Amino acid sequence: MALFMGLCFLAWLPVQAQTKTVSGKVTATDGNALPGVNIIFKGGTVGTVTDVDGNYRLSLPSETGKLVFSFVGYLAQTLDVPASGDLNVVLAEDLVGLEEVVITGLATNVKRSNLANAVTSVSAKELMGTTSPVTTDGALQGKIAGANIQSNGSMPGGGFNMQFRGLSTLGASASQPLFIVDGVYIDNSQNSTGRSQANKATGGSAASTQDNNANRLADLNPDDIENIEILKGASAAAIYGTRANAGVVIITTKRGKGGKTKISFGQDLGISSALSFYGGADWTEDKLTKYFSANEIPALRAARQNGTYTDWERVIFGGTGQIRNTRLSVAGGDEKTKFYINGSIADETGIVKNTGFQRYSFRANVDHKISKIFEVGMSSNYVYSNNDRGWAGNDNSYVNYGYSIPYTKPFYNLYPDAQGNYPDNQAGVGENPLAIRDRAINNQKVNRFIQGFYLNINALSKENMSLTFKATGGLDYQNGYALTYLPSDLQSQRPEANPGFAQDTRVEVTNYNMQFAGVFTYAAMENKLNLTSSAGIVQLGTIGRENYVRGRGLPAGISNAARGRALEQDVALRENTDQGFFAQQEANFDDKIIAAAGVRFDRSSLNGDPSKWYAFPRGSLAVNVANFDFWNKNIVSQFKLRVAYGETAGLPNFGTLYSRLGVEGVGGQAGFVPSTTLGNVKIGPERATELEYGFDFGLFNGKISGEVTFYNKKVYDVIRPLLTAPTTGVASTSINAGDMTNTGMEVSLGADVIKNENFTWFIQPIFWFNRTKITRLIVPQSLTGGFGATFGQWRIKEGESPTQIVGQPRPVAGDLNSWTIYGDQQPKFELSLNQRITFLKNFEFSMLAHYRHEFTVVSLTRVLWDEGGNTYNWNETNESGNPAEPNGIYRQQVNGLDENGKPKPGYNPVLTSFLKIREIALYYRVPTATLSKAFGKVVSGVRVGVSGNNLFRWTDYTAGYDPENSNFGSAALGSGVDIGSIPAVRRMMFHLAVEF
C-alpha cells in the first residue's frame, strides 16, 4: 500500500533542475537484491524506485541532503547523500512493523511507530506464511494479544468465537467484531439450517445457536489478504461508533503494484486426522451384569466369538481428511492502472466421511488513475462455498453421532448388509451412527458477492497542503441455501408420528455501507508540524431475509421438504439503517509528539429512539521520547509513551423493540398468543469507554522490541434480559441493565536472538490476560447458558465476573442462590510464542505455540461417555479410590470441589489448561541461481515446504476430546459447552508455491 501510494506520488512530481546524480544497489540482509524500493530526496520532491536487480539512479537538485530508502516490510533508512561514489544500502526486515501504515481513522492512517494504540497487525506472511488455515479467524488463533479466539468444533469450514479484551456485551448486542474488507462491512453471522430441530436439540424456533454452523467469515479466502488490522477496544475503534463495541477487524486484500506482471501459483496437499480418541473401555460379562443389563451377555459373547467386536468411535472418527488447496493470482499494471486477480479453490474433507468444505473464490481488484485529480478503484469478490457439517453436538433424538457413539457398545453390529440396509442400534441408543454418517445430510451452500469501490478526488495538492475527498463503500450480498435431511426409515425416525425430516432454508443478506469524507493536510514549521483534518458522513444498513420449509413425514427416499406430510414454514425479515458523521484532527510534531482527537455521532433504527444521536469522542497522545535530541539511541533505539481514550457502542439486536403476538393453532383454527418476551421501546445502545496506555520500546537498533499495554474497558448500559417471574407468562424483557469493566494487560516482544547471513532466529512471545467484572446490575442475578446448574452455568451477578461458572451442589443448603464456583470461562492468562529460524540461506522453520492457562469448561461429553460405559478409563478405579467401583460409575454420582478446592472428576464443570502447537512449518526456497539455470527468466521463485496445524497438544482436560469445543456457537456468554463433540483434528500439508 505504501509503495503504491509512493508511486502515485512520484508520478506527479514536477520537473526540477538537476545538479547531481547518485546511484547504487539496495539489498536485504540475506544479500538478495530488493526491487521496488522507494527512494526519496528528503525535503525535495524527487525520487525513484529500484529496478528488478535492486539498482537505482537518481538525479538530485542539490549536492547535499538526505535520502530516504523505504520498502514495505523493511525498516526505512535515512542516509546522507555521499560526496562521491555509489550509495549501496542494506535494508533490515521490519519484523515488528514499525514502518507499516496503520489505518486509524475512517479516511486517514498513521505510521505504526507513531501510533497511540496497540493495534495488532497481521501480515499475509504471518497469516498464511506458516500453514494454510481454512478460515481467516482460524489463522489468527494465538497471534493476537488480547484476543480470545475459540474454535467451536473441528468440522471442516471453521466456526470460531472471537472476543477482544474480554467481554463487550452479555449477549444482547453483536458478540463478534465488525469485519471490514476493503471498506465493505461484511456479514459474519451464523445462519441457521434447522439441524437442531431435526435432532430436537432445541424446539420450535427457526434460528438456533445449536446448529453448529460456520460463521460466514469462512467465505473469505485468506490467501487474498494482504494485511489485517485489529482495533481491539473502544479507544482505537471510536471512530466506528455504534458498530465497534466488540472491536473492528480491518482486512485489506492484495492489490496490483504495477511493474512486471507477476503470476503466483500455489498448491497445498494434505491430510487431517483425529488428535485423540476418548472411548475404548473394555466390556465384560461382569460389567454388563453389575452395571448394565445381563440380557446383553449373549450379544457380547457372539461378538467376541465372531470377531465382530468393534470400536465404533474409531470407525467413525478414525478417518483421514484430505486437503487440496489451489491458488493462482496475477498482479501487475502500469502507472495508470493496476490490477490483482486471484482464483482459488479450497477443498477439504473432514475426518468423518461425508463432511467437508469447499470454497471457490474469485477476486479482481482494480485501481485506476483517471487524472491527477481523480482515482477510482474497486474490489470484487465472488465466492461459492459448500459445507457439509455432519452431525455433532447436542441432540435429543440420538441422531448426532457425537451423541450416540458414547452410548454405542462395541458388540452391536452397525455395518449395513449386502443390500445396504443398516441394522438398528441397541434400542436404548436409538440410532445407528453409521446410517447417519452415510445417509443423513446437513449441507449449507453460499453464493456471495462482496463488492467495494472508492473514488478519491485530489482537490488540492500543494507542497505544504492537500485536500482530498474520498467516497468509499460497498455491498455484501449473500444468498445461502441449506438442506438438512433425515430419511424416514432411519431407526430414530420410524417411531416418530411423522417419520423423516427435511428443511430447506434460504438466507439472503444484503449489507451496504457508504461513506463520504474529506481529508485536509497542512504542514507548518518547516514541515515539522503536520496537521491532518478529516470529516465525513456514513450510512450503512442490513436487509436480511430467511425463509424455510420444514417437512416431516417424508415419502421414502425423498429429501424435498415440500413433500412432507406435516409442513412448517417461516419467513423471518430484519432490516436496520445506521447513520453517522465524524470529524477528526491529528497533529504530528516531527514524529516526536503525535496527538489526535475526534468525535463520531451515530443513530440507528435498532435503538428505541431511532432519531437520537449518540456521541463517541476519542483522543490520543503518543510521545516518541527516543526521537528527542536529548535521547541517546545507542541502547534504547525507540521509546514511545502512549495513551488513548475512546468511546464506542453496541446496538441492540433486531427485534428487541417488539412485543410480539405469535400465532398458534388448535383444532384447525389459528389463534393469537403473546410471546414470553416483552419488547422495550426505550432500549438504547450498550456504550463502552476505554482508556488504554502503555509504552513501546526498541533496543539495539530494533533487535529487541516490545509493546506493553494496559487497558480499562468499561461497558455501560449493558443490555440484559430482565428475567421476570416466569409464572407471570413473561420470561424476560431486555433492558439497559448494568455496567461492567474489563481490565487487562498485553505484552508483545520480538527479538532477533541470532542474526547472521547463514542463521537467523527470531522469537516473538506474547502474553495477555483480561479480567471482567460486573460493577452494576439492576436486574436480579441469574444463571444463563449451559444445560442447568447440575452441569454448570454462567452467573450474572453484581461484583462478579459474568464468565464465572457456577453449579450444584449448593454450599449453603436451602439458599436458592447459593452455588459452587467452578472458576471462570476466561483463562487466567494466555501465552503464545512465535519462532522463525532461517538456516542454510534458503531454509525457514517456524512454529507457533499457544498456551491458555486455567479456564473452566462446562463438559457433558464425559457424562455421555460415562453413562454409555465407554469412557477410556471407565473400568479403572483410580478416581473412585474404591476397587469395587469403576470410575465410570463413580463419576456419575459425584460433583463439587475436592478438599483442595479443585473440581472433582464428576459431572460438574472442569478447570483446565492447554498448550497447542498451532502452526509448525519447514520451507525451502529454491535459490534464484538454480532457477535461472533451469527455467531462465520464466520462473522467479519456487518455495516448497511441509506444515502442520494443531499438530501437538498438551492438556489436563480429561472430560472430553478437547477443551476448545463450543456447542452454542459464537457467543459472548455460554459458548464453552462441550457436548456430543467430535475429536479435535490435526492437519498436515505439503506446499508448493511458484512465482512467474
Q: Which 853-872 positions form the footprint of another protein (CB under 8 A)?
A: 863, 867-869
Quick one: which of 475, 789, 897, 926 contacts another protein (CB under 8 A)? 789
Q: Is 165 helix (H, G, I), strand (E, B) or coil?
A: coil
Closest distance between another protein and the C-beta of residue 498, in Å? 5
| Site pattern 827..846 for another protein (x: CB under 8 A) | --------------------
- Tell me the C-alpha to C-alpha distance, in Å, between residue 968 and each of 174, 211, 992: 15, 8, 37
Closest distance between another protein and the C-beta of residue 576, in Å? 7
| CA torsion through residues 894, 895, 901, 902, sign | positive
Q: How far apart are the first and last CA of the chain?
A: 22
Quick one: which of 492, 870, 966, 970 contacts another protein (CB under 8 A)? 492
| CA torsion through residues 728, 731, 737, 738, sign | positive
Here the cell at position 500 is 423423516
Concatenated DSSP letters of 520-546: EEEEETTTTEEEEEEEEEEEEEEEEEE
Closest distance between another protein and the C-beta of residue 88, in Å? 44
Q: How far apart are CA 626 and CA 642, in angstroms?
A: 13
> What one-character DSSP code corresponds to residue 215?
P
Closest distance between another protein and the C-beta of residue 96, in Å? 34
Quick one: which of 324, 445, 565, 592 contacts another protein (CB under 8 A)? 565
Task: Tell whether residue 28 is a contact of another protein (CB under 8 A).
Answer: no
Q: Which 626-685 positions form the footprint of another protein (CB under 8 A)?
A: 655, 657-676, 678-679
Residue showing cell 435429543 = 396
Task: Tell whether residue 403 is a contact of another protein (CB under 8 A).
Answer: yes
Nearest to 825 by CA among 808, 798, 807, 803: 803
Closest distance between another protein and the C-beta of residue 578, in Å? 9
Cβ neighbors of 290 (< 8 A, separation 6 or more) are none
Nearer Cβ to another protein, position 627 or 965?
Answer: 965
Residue 453's DSSP bridge partners are: 378, 473
Q: Is 7 helix (H, G, I), strand (E, B) or coil?
A: helix
Nearer Cβ to another protein, position 40 or 779?
Answer: 779
| CA torsion through residues 200, 202, 206, 207, sign | negative
Nearest to 860 by CA among 871, 847, 852, 850: 871
| Site pattern 169..208 for another protein (x: CB under 8 A) | -------------------------------x--------
Concatenated DSSP letters of 108-161: -EEEGGG-SS--EEEEHHHHHSS---SSHHHHHTTSSTTEEEEE---STT--EE
Q: How far apart are CA 106 and CA 516, in angstroms?
A: 10
Contact segment (CB under 8 A) with another protein among 116-124, 221-229, 505-513, 728-736 equals 728-736
Closest distance between another protein and the C-beta of residue 516, in Å? 8
Instruction: List b or e across 341-366, with b for residues whose CB sees 16 or more CB atoms inside 10 angstroms.
Output: bbbbebbbbbbbbbbbbbbebebebb
Closest distance between another protein and the C-beta of residue 773, in Å? 20
Task: Tell whether residue 731 is a contact of another protein (CB under 8 A).
Answer: yes
Contact segment (CB under 8 A) with another protein among 26-34, 108-116, 531-539, 982-990 equals 531-539
Q: Which 534-563 positions form the footprint of another protein (CB under 8 A)?
A: 535-537, 552-553
Nearer Cβ to another protein, position 417 or 664?
Answer: 664
Task: Tell whether residue 414 is a contact of another protein (CB under 8 A).
Answer: no
β 441-461/374-388 pair status? antiparallel
Nearer Cβ to another protein, position 164 or 501?
Answer: 501
Q: Which 762-781 positions form the footprint of another protein (CB under 8 A)?
A: 779-781
Cβ neighbors of 778 (< 8 A, separation 6 or more) are 735, 737, 738
Q: Which 442-461 positions form the footprint of another protein (CB under 8 A)?
A: 460
Nearer Cβ to another protein, position 305 or 727?
Answer: 727
Nearer Cβ to another protein, position 469 or 845?
Answer: 469
Quick one: which of 99, 226, 285, 568 contacts another protein (CB under 8 A)? 568
* Start-end of H helices in 307-459: 312-317, 401-404, 433-439
Quick one: which of 330, 567, 939, 944 contacts another protein (CB under 8 A)? 567
Q: Which 697-726 positions form the footprint of another protein (CB under 8 A)?
A: 722-726
Nearer Cβ to another protein, position 179 or 581?
Answer: 581
Q: Which 421-440 positions form the footprint of another protein (CB under 8 A)?
A: 427-431
Task: Tell whether residue 782 is a contact of another protein (CB under 8 A).
Answer: yes
Closest distance between another protein and the C-beta of residue 683, in Å? 12
Nearer Cβ to another protein, position 272 or 530?
Answer: 530
Closest distance between another protein and the C-beta of residue 183, in Å? 19
Q: How many residues bind another protein (CB under 8 A)?
A: 109
CA atoms within 13 A on the CB side of 749: 11
> What one-character DSSP code corresponds to residue 693?
E
Contact segment (CB under 8 A) with another protein among 264-272, 528-536, 826-834, 924-932 equals 528-536
Q: What is the 3-state secondary structure (H, E, C) of 733-746?
A: EEEEEEEEEEEEEE
Task: Tell whether residue 571 is a contact of another protein (CB under 8 A).
Answer: yes
Q: To 10 degrees, the CA torsion angle through 978, 437, 508, 653?
A: -10
Question: What amino acid occupies position 821?
Answer: I
Nearest to 709 by CA among 691, 689, 694, 690: 694
Nearer Cβ to another protein, position 795 or 836?
Answer: 795
Closest distance between another protein and the C-beta of residue 461, in Å? 13
Nearer Cβ to another protein, position 657 or 922?
Answer: 657
Nearer Cβ to another protein, position 220 or 718?
Answer: 718
Nearer Cβ to another protein, position 407 or 923?
Answer: 407
Here the cell at position 807 is 453449579
Q: Which 936-975 positions form the footprint of another protein (CB under 8 A)?
A: none
Quick one: which of 385, 576, 742, 967 contacts another protein (CB under 8 A)? 576
Task: Tell whether residue 463 is a contact of another protein (CB under 8 A).
Answer: no
Task: Tell whether residue 592 is a contact of another protein (CB under 8 A).
Answer: no
145 near 747, Cβ under 8 Å? yes
Q: Which 798-827 positions form the footprint of another protein (CB under 8 A)?
A: 808-810, 816-817
Q: Which 63-122 positions form the footprint of another protein (CB under 8 A)?
A: none
Q: How far apart are CA 193 and CA 206, in angstroms?
A: 8
Residue 957 CA to its chain's centroid (Å): 24
| Site pattern 282..321 for another protein (x: CB under 8 A) | ---------xxx-x--------------------------
Residue 834 CA to its chain's centroid (Å): 18
- Tell me the C-alpha to C-alpha distance, in Å, between residue 59 and each of 48, 262, 469: 9, 29, 33
Task: Tell whether residue 510 is a contact of another protein (CB under 8 A).
Answer: no
Nearer Cβ to another protein, position 450 or 722?
Answer: 722
Contact segment (CB under 8 A) with another protein among 139-147, 631-639, 784-792, 835-843 equals 784-792
Contact segment (CB under 8 A) with another protein among 123-131, 372-380, 783-791, 988-996 equals 783-791
| CA torsion through residues 181, 185, 186, 188, sign | positive
Contact segment (CB under 8 A) with another protein among 393-401, 411-419, 481-489, 941-949 equals 393-401
* Start-end of H helices in 716-842: none
Closest distance between another protein and the C-beta of residue 506, in Å? 16
